[in-house]
Structure 1
Amino acid sequence: MSNLKAISGYDRYLFHEGRHFRSYRMLGAQQGERAGVKGVRFAVWAPNAREVMVVGDFNGWSGEDKMRRLKSSGIWELFVPGLEPGALYKYQIVSAAGDVREKADPYAFWAEVRPLSASRVFGLDGYRWGDSQWQGGERLTGGVNKPMAIYEVHLGSWRRKTDGSFYSYRELADELSDYAADMGFTHLELLPVAEHPFDASWGYQATGYYAPTSRYGSPDDFKYFVDRCHQKGLGVILDWVPGHFCKDDHGLRMFDGSPLFESGWPARAENQGWGTLNFDFGKPEVWSFLISNAMYWFDIFHIDGLRVDAVANMIYLDYGRQEGGEWLPNEHGGRENLDAIAFLKKLNEAVHYYYPRALVIAEESTAWPLVSRPVYLGGLGFDYKWNMGWMNDTLRYVSLDPIHRQWEHRLLTFSLLYAFSENFLLPLSHDEVVHGKKSLLDKMPGDYWQKFANLRAFFGYFMAHPGKKLLFMGGEFGQFSEWYEGRGLDWLLLEYELHSKLHGFTRELVRFYRDDSCLWENDDNWRGFEWIDCHDSRQSVISFLRRADNDEHTVVVTNFTPVVRHGYRIGVPEAGSYREVLNSDRAEFGGSGVTNDELRAEPQAWHSQPFSVVLTVPPLATVYIKREAMREE
């Protein structure tokens, strides 16, 4: 057990400067020994408090254990001997005005199961990891020249037990990791696991930033989950919410009787659209709290990446706000949140300094430039940016009746005007299958068969378009109802033929994507993409090439109408025999079975290519074609 030294002046200095990136080792409930006595050192930042006490089940929740304020600091400290892991505690804080409130520890590593809200003492370093191979370099890094197919999951509703209760982290560790690995996904992305009081917030309104939610088990159970994923070859990305927090009384709001983590200006603090409070990025201690939290998930839980939620809300002071008093401009009169921008840059610099292979992904929905470019080049420093424009355009397009798609062809082609301005990730996320938006399958027009055909065609196009991939759970087998966090997915649908065949198609598609370097090796530049024909709006057919570094190419053709296109000629770059390598209309996938045998390239120039092939394009389908010699090589 470690020796609990006094909190040093240098630690306090770094914390108050916003540069203590391991402040979770200083604050919170730290187990160890002091003068040979085992116990717990409690430490909390509460600069405007008149008095702070530790209350818990070990002292009858009385205020007898008073903390002392460290010199020239807003940090309070107390060593309590004899405490064991699992002990419950809170901080009882007397404000400058004399008000008394009980608060959960902002740095608590574990919490009670909601609706209870006390913090729990927990030791961080007792788990024995088994992912040395993964950490040693065998993992998929998710770099721009690597495949990345992410399966987005809400742990509480991927599956539920027959009595409606949750699967635990350890149960999910086996079932979910086996399933995702079998499907061919490279990463799991988890909706936020930080402790949160309200199930329907999905974790996006947190109270315990350092506590994996106790709904599914202990912090060590969550470590086991990540460990098991790594052993199955899956990276783990966490959704992370550094922009705002919920207002529950036991959380961060008015923590020491004053607006501490939030701004003192209501126009800056209040997030009326979400009913939350924005972090005040003008306070260096908030930087230490949040950047340390990012490091904590990498250090302690071996995660592989963070998806940063609602970046637009952070970088724009007027995001979701009306003119006339709802927001305050910056010191230059602009709407940019200069403090938040500086914070994001420092966050990404720090994470990538300590974890060069880490992924930090921005959910950013505006035209802010250079989101995924390094800080030293003037960017925000993220590795990837969600391509919300592509998502909105294509989902709008595929929701149209095919007879109307010819008039909206630009929705398919516009994304290539900016496809390489950022390192993009294409998201088909949870946000697109809730609140009346319908499930992916139910968005598709037409009769029962056409809905499935549309979705398979769309998935084929999605996997071939430049950018990394993300698919929310349930989409892979055609969940018909919208996602609802209060129940598990409708796995019984796999007993029905078209759902089962769609599931098989998704598995083969994801695996093909991983195996075909043409689809990901040049995701960030024009070398990897070339239009064959982007102009056939009348027939709603698009065709393009994806290229690997060695000039191997994959031809992609998608027909977004239910009409078979016979004798359809497309240009190809080389002579030789071409063959279908994937066709979403194959009968085994639930299609009509319109396929092509060997295709011989003719020396007839077409579509600005020196050769061409003539094929039959199946209805509502995507076809991948490769030159036979390439396949043999």
Structure 2
Amino acid sequence: MNNVIVHSFFSDFDINLFKAGKHYRLYEKLGSHITSVNGVKGTYFAVWAPAAKSVSVIGDFNYWTEGKHQLNVRWDSSGIWEGFIPGVTMGALYKYKIHSNHNDIKTEKADPYARRCEHPPKTASVVWDSQYDWNDRSWMQKRHQNNAIDAPFSVYEVHLGSWKKKIEEDRSLSYTELSEELVNYVKEMQFTHVELMPVMEHPYDPSWGYQITGYFAPTSRFGYPEEFKTLVDKLHQNDIGIILDWVPSHFPEDAHGLGFFDGTCLYEHPDRKKGYHPDWKSLIFNYERNEVKSFLISNALFWLDEYHIDGLRVDAVASMLFLDYSREDGEWDANIYGGRENLAAIDFMKELNTEIYSSFPDVQTIAEESTSFPMVSKPTYLGGLGFGMKWMMGWMHDTLLYFAKESVHRKFHQNDLTFSMTYAFTENFMLPLSHDEVVYGKRSIIGRMPGDEWQQFANLRLLYSYMFTHPGTNLLFMGAEFAQRDEWNFIESLDWHLLQYQYHNGIKNTIKDLNILYRNNEALFEQQFNISGFEWITYDDHENSIIAYIRKDLKNEKPLIVVCNFTPVPRVEYRIGLPQEGVLEEVFNSDHKKYGGSGVSNTNQIQIENKKWHYREHSAKIKIPPLATVVLRYNN
């Protein structure tokens, strides 16, 4: 006997949108939803499985028996199966048992739209109705200011499972514990935003969350969905934005996941040249299928809508853009124009960004894109992909390569450092020192620095201060802010005990003060994506391995002068050309003793002279400490 009552959340208009790939709120329709029908409380289920001959809901309420609760297929060829099951309420475990028309195959799948999942390695979906009273109205009302591209954007990247652990209990912190400890720490460090590596449910810890099976469910490893909302809420109450890593590029082949969902390639592209990722041994979404586009765009909007998320960092964009990504000749087919671009994926990204910025104009999307594909962060109406920002992978690669060199050799490689300025304003760039740079034998950031211990830490302070004063926004992976020595290990906690040592604590203080400098000086953020906000003073003093530049605010009333010395030789009377007369004062010095430096500084105000230098009418002599950055400001 089938105990399913015919019921639907879908209107004809919903179905037309779904078929056209234009339904961007599918989480309100598909999945499981607690409701009442004719006064009887239960749960409405709906799942897309067009190749099925039958779909049963199996769960702990029917002893996981196929056929007891068989859904009804809609008459409109949408491929949606739906129905209401009385008595099924909050917390019920379930899956879909799908009997396919294709080769009589049967699959047993978790709900693609489930709001909660069992704790891995268990794989069932959980009926859930996440009620939460938000207390972040103040943040949401001013978010358009805090998230603007002319606002400070300093991001702390976090892997929740290994940021800090309860050692005595051998466990990670819960969402509730993180809402106190992580929030307080980020606030102390003065970061403007937190970026979380994927929090969506995933079966395999070593994937770091990038192999997702539950796209609409925060992982149960750290608590309930409401507790994750508490973490978001607490961040907002402390004026901290939250960005989520989001993975629309691929998904794993786990039996309960999206792959081969109804006995056919439903979510993945049926052509393995387009549907399988050789590097990650995972499946690639079929961007040519309207219903799949609706799934992905609905998922992006779900996190922005239901969880008040402030931005999405879109993972592996390059792998989506190019048909030949990680493929040899013969392993890929050209597009209809003979090119290597994945035209369907490009259209998807444009549609995604158009809808996000239309519905949530006060958020940001950030592309992790490693190629020279043009106009990634330009608006779609100008022909761009429409992202708000793009990771500046070239800057990261060239800068780390330069800093790894002994200082005596750096004069031969100054171009590695200055080259980024030739393209710095072609995109809205974010400068990333992410988790990818401290794994797989690459060493920690401090581990790449040359010289003795003092020089290593001086180099690191120099790197960070150069990064924070370079045009663009910033991202730093957890542990790098106090110079963790070991590579990141997702199993273990960060080495917080290092903060008892002067040099490590000095790096932490450096980052905190750089965040304060960045937030409090309009010259560092008002024109961070505009060439008008930057001007070289000198980039070709390779003999001394020194560069100097000006960062300018919108009105050019409060410019900052930045001077970097990439050698351990202090320069006590180094003359720089300046844009105007007046008096300079030192507002930041990475060689300060409180950071572990030697203390060489410009303690007195610097009088600017009417003496030509660096093709300018005015100049001044300043002290430049060894392996350090000095930031000066006019004080007229």
TM-score normalised by length of structure 2: 0.97
Partner residue of 2:304 out of 298, 302, 305 = 298
Matches within 5 A, 1:451-470: 451-470=456-475
Paired position in structure 1 for 2:292? 286
Contact kept, 8 Å, 1:140 with 1:235, in 2: the verdict is no
Paired position in structure 2 for 1:607? 614
Partner residue of 2:40 out of 30, 37, 42 = 37
Query: Partner letter of residue 56 of structure 2?
Result: M
Paired position in structure 2 for 1:593? 599
Matched, 1:203 2:209: yes
Whole-Å separation in 1 of the counterparts to 2:129 and 2:288: 32
**Secondary structure, in 3 states, of the residue corresponding to 1:263?**
coil
Matched, 1:16 2:19: yes
Whole-Å separation in 2 of the counterparts to 1:155 and 1:456: 26
Partner residue of 2:71 out of 67, 71, 96 = 67
Q: Which moved more, 1:564-573 or 1:487-496?
A: 564-573
**Secondary structure, in 3 states, of the residue corresponding to 1:545?**
strand
**Secondary structure, in 3 states, of the residue corresponding to 1:623?**
strand
Q: Which moved more, 1:609-618 or 1:305-314?
A: 609-618
Paired position in structure 2 for 1:187? 193
**Secondary structure, in 3 states, of the residue corresponding to 1:487?**
coil
Whole-Å separation in 2 of the counterparts to 1:29 and 1:169: 24
Matches within 5 A, 1:606-625: 606-625=613-632
Whole-Å separation in 1 of the counterparts to 2:251 and 2:164: 27
| Cα drift, residue 140 of structure 1 | 4.4
RMSD in angstroms over aligned alpha carbons?
1.2
| Cα drift, residue 569 of structure 1 | 0.6
**Secondary structure, in 3 states, of the residue corresponding to 1:65?**
coil
CA deviations 1:266-293 (Å, max 9, x no partner) are: 1111101111111000000001100000
Query: Partner letter of residue 404 of structure 1?
Result: H
Moved over 6 A (4+): none
Paired position in structure 1 for 2:494? 489
Whole-Å separation in 2 of the counterparts to 1:451 and 1:200: 30
Paired position in structure 2 for 1:316? 322
Whole-Å separation in 2 of the counterparts to 1:510 and 1:178: 15
CA deviations 1:56-113 (Å, max 9, x no partner) are: 0000000111111111220001211111211100001112222222100000110000
Whole-Å separation in 2 of the counterparts to 1:84 and 1:122: 8
Paired position in structure 1 for 2:537? 532
Contact kept, 8 Å, 1:4 with 1:33, in 2: the verdict is no
Contact kept, 8 Å, 1:139 with 1:235, in 2: the verdict is no
Query: Partner letter of residue 29 of structure 1?
Result: S
Contact kept, 8 Å, 1:453 with 1:620, in 2: the verdict is yes
**Secondary structure, in 3 states, of the residue corresponding to 1:615?**
strand
Whole-Å separation in 2 of the counterparts to 1:593 and 1:8: 70
**Secondary structure, in 3 states, of the residue corresponding to 1:244?**
coil
**Secondary structure, in 3 states, of the residue corresponding to 1:66?**
coil
Whole-Å separation in 2 of the counterparts to 1:350 and 1:40: 30
Partner residue of 1:47 out of 46, 50, 61 = 50
| Cα drift, residue 138 of structure 1 | 5.5
Paired position in structure 2 for 1:112? 118
Whole-Å separation in 2 of the counterparts to 1:472 and 1:177: 16
Matches within 5 A, 1:483-522: 483-522=488-527
CA deviations 1:140-197 (Å, max 9, x no partner) are: 4332211110111111111011132011111101111111011111100000111001
Contact kept, 8 Å, 1:164 with 1:487, in 2: the verdict is no
**Secondary structure, in 3 states, of the residue corresponding to 1:94?**
strand
Paired position in structure 2 for 1:133? 138
Whole-Å separation in 2 of the counterparts to 1:78 and 1:286: 22
**Secondary structure, in 3 states, of the residue corresponding to 2:209?**
coil
Partner residue of 1:250 out of 228, 233, 256 = 256
In structure 1, list runs of 5 or more residues that go unmatched. Answer: none
**Secondary structure, in 3 states, of the residue corresponding to 2:541?**
coil
Aligned residues: 625
| Cα drift, residue 481 of structure 1 | 0.4
CA deviations 1:565-587 (Å, max 9, x no partner) are: 23211111122221111101111
**Secondary structure, in 3 states, of the residue corresponding to 1:107?**
coil
Paired position in structure 2 for 1:433? 438
Paired position in structure 2 for 1:83? 88
Paired position in structure 1 for 2:245? 239
Query: Partner letter of residue 269 of structure 2?
Result: S
Whole-Å separation in 2 of the counterparts to 1:502 and 1:307: 27
**Secondary structure, in 3 states, of the residue corresponding to 1:595?**
coil
Contact kept, 8 Å, 1:555 with 1:626, in 2: the verdict is yes
Contact kept, 8 Å, 2:8 with 2:83, in 1: the verdict is no
Partner residue of 1:478 out of 466, 483, 491 = 483
| Cα drift, residue 47 of structure 1 | 0.5
Partner residue of 1:328 out of 324, 330, 333 = 333
| Cα drift, residue 5 of structure 1 | 4.7
Query: Partner letter of residue 420 of structure 1?
Result: F
Matched, 1:93 2:113: no
CA deviations 1:411-433 (Å, max 9, x no partner) are: 11111111111111111111111
CA deviations 1:500-521 (Å, max 9, x no partner) are: 1111111111111100111111
Contact kept, 8 Å, 1:522 with 1:548, in 2: the verdict is yes
Partner residue of 1:354 out of 355, 359, 362 = 359
Paired position in structure 1 for 2:3? none
Whole-Å separation in 2 of the counterparts to 1:141 and 1:334: 40
Matched, 1:259 2:265: yes
Contact kept, 8 Å, 1:373 with 1:382, in 2: the verdict is yes
Contact kept, 8 Å, 2:143 with 2:362, in 1: the verdict is no
Whole-Å separation in 2 of the counterparts to 1:16 and 1:117: 29
Partner residue of 1:164 out of 165, 170, 174 = 170
Whole-Å separation in 2 of the counterparts to 1:502 and 1:291: 40
Contact kept, 8 Å, 2:117 with 2:124, in 1: the verdict is yes
Query: Partner letter of residue 108 of structure 1?
Result: A
| Cα drift, residue 261 of structure 1 | 0.4
Whole-Å separation in 2 of the counterparts to 1:230 and 1:108: 26
Contact kept, 8 Å, 2:7 with 2:82, in 1: the verdict is no
Contact kept, 8 Å, 2:433 with 2:476, in 1: the verdict is yes
Whole-Å separation in 1 of the counterparts to 2:530 and 2:616: 20
Matched, 1:28 2:35: no
Whole-Å separation in 2 of the counterparts to 1:241 and 1:138: 24
Partner residue of 2:452 out of 443, 447, 451 = 447
Paired position in structure 2 for 1:270? 276
Matched, 1:371 2:376: yes
Contact kept, 8 Å, 1:141 with 1:358, in 2: the verdict is no
**Secondary structure, in 3 states, of the residue corresponding to 1:294?**
helix
CA deviations 1:203-240 (Å, max 9, x no partner) are: 11100100100000111111111000000100010000
Query: Partner letter of residue 58 of structure 2?
Result: V
Whole-Å separation in 1 of the counterparts to 2:262 and 2:72: 15
Paired position in structure 2 for 1:628? 635
Identity %: 49
Whole-Å separation in 1 of the counterparts to 2:90 and 2:145: 36
CA deviations 1:566-611 (Å, max 9, x no partner) are: 3211111122221111101111110011111321111101112211
In structure 2, list runs of 5 or more residues that go unmatched. Answer: 1-5
Paired position in structure 2 for 1:7? 10
Paired position in structure 2 for 1:408? 413
CA deviations 1:545-570 (Å, max 9, x no partner) are: 00112212101011111111232111
Whole-Å separation in 1 of the counterparts to 2:92 and 2:50: 26
Contact kept, 8 Å, 1:542 with 1:557, in 2: the verdict is yes
**Secondary structure, in 3 states, of the residue corresponding to 1:239?**
strand
Whole-Å separation in 2 of the counterparts to 1:227 and 1:395: 36
Query: Partner letter of residue 245 of structure 1?
Result: F
**Secondary structure, in 3 states, of the residue corresponding to 1:548?**
coil
Relative distance call for 1:156 and 1:258 in structure 2 (3 A) is: same
